[in-house]
Amino acid sequence: MRIEVLLDVKTTLGEGPLWDVEQQRLYWIDSFDGRVFRATADGRELRAWDVPQKIGSMALRKDGSGAVVSLARGFHLLDFKTGDVELIHDPEPDLPNNRINDGKVDKRGRFVAGSMDTMEEGPNGALYSLSTDFKVTRLDSGIICSNGPCWSPDGTIFYFTDTWSGEISAYDYDQDTGGVSNKRTFAKVDGSGGGAADGSTVDAEGCLWNALVYDGKLVRYRPDGSVDRVIEMPVKKVTSVMFGGPDLDVLYVTSMAKPPLPRFPGDGVLRGSLFAIHDLGIRGIPEPRFGG
């Protein structure tokens, strides 16, 4: 195993690595600075787009014109050619202290993302599904900080974490309707080092990888929720993970240069870097595009 600093872009709050198999390009975001990045698998051809609000996550559109992005005030479309951003829907206009956060696309092209309380204190957030015809449905509520949405390889189990709950949850997922049911605990998170569950992805073997933010660790969980492997990272504030590269066998890891709140720890000179982990002997799953 080899951990490489792919790009030292000093993202204030790096998040959401996304590998697109069609373009063979890696995307990621800076949540606080409102920016979308793109580069090749080896960190070349760096490109960036600015968005007008804090951004929680993104997914590429099926037609290749741009992306759907979860901004602080709802779901938007980003046009890569013009840089224009268009509002689709704000599901929480009455909750100014919330913002939309982490999201991913299911096998049928829906974008599923949750909101969070910006102070990370109150259960004021909810989980939403944006359909391919731009209809927004609320799937769950009572969430402090939405993070880590992803699916089992067959798409029938949806994984999700409320970061400060101390656990990763699993739901039964209805691919026909996009509905969730039977919420249960998938794994208890070891927070003894001050960390909490952040972004996640699932590999081709059905194991879930999670970034343990503020503790500088990546944890691989088997499908039964038991811990398979722990990787120590060179920074504490790792935020999310995604497999990519031509063979889907490189694990990309985002990090933050500055903690969102004073109570969280700082980091060394590699803070905010984008990392690539090689030679794990594990492959990921291609990420679907948003169907709208």
**Active-site amino acid positions:** 198
DSSP state of 76: E
Residues near 220 by Cβ (< 8 Å), separated by ≥ 6?
A: 203, 207, 208, 209, 227, 228, 229, 230, 231
Q: Within its chain, how far is the Cα of 71 from the centroid?
A: 13
Q: How far apart are CA 130 and CA 84, in angstroms?
A: 20
Could you write out the DSSP letters of every residue in 124-135? -EEEEEE-TTS-
Q: How far apart are CA 250 and CA 154, in angstroms?
A: 22
Residue 30, classed as helix, strand or coil, is strand
DSSP lists the bridge partners of residue 141 as: 126
Question: What H or E segment, with its residue span, contains residue 86?
Answer: strand 85-89
Q: How far apart are CA 48 and CA 35, in angstroms?
A: 7
Q: How far apart are CA 112 and CA 149, in angstroms?
A: 8
Q: Are 161 and 168 in contact (CB under 8 A)?
A: yes
Q: How far apart are CA 21 and CA 32, in angstroms?
A: 27
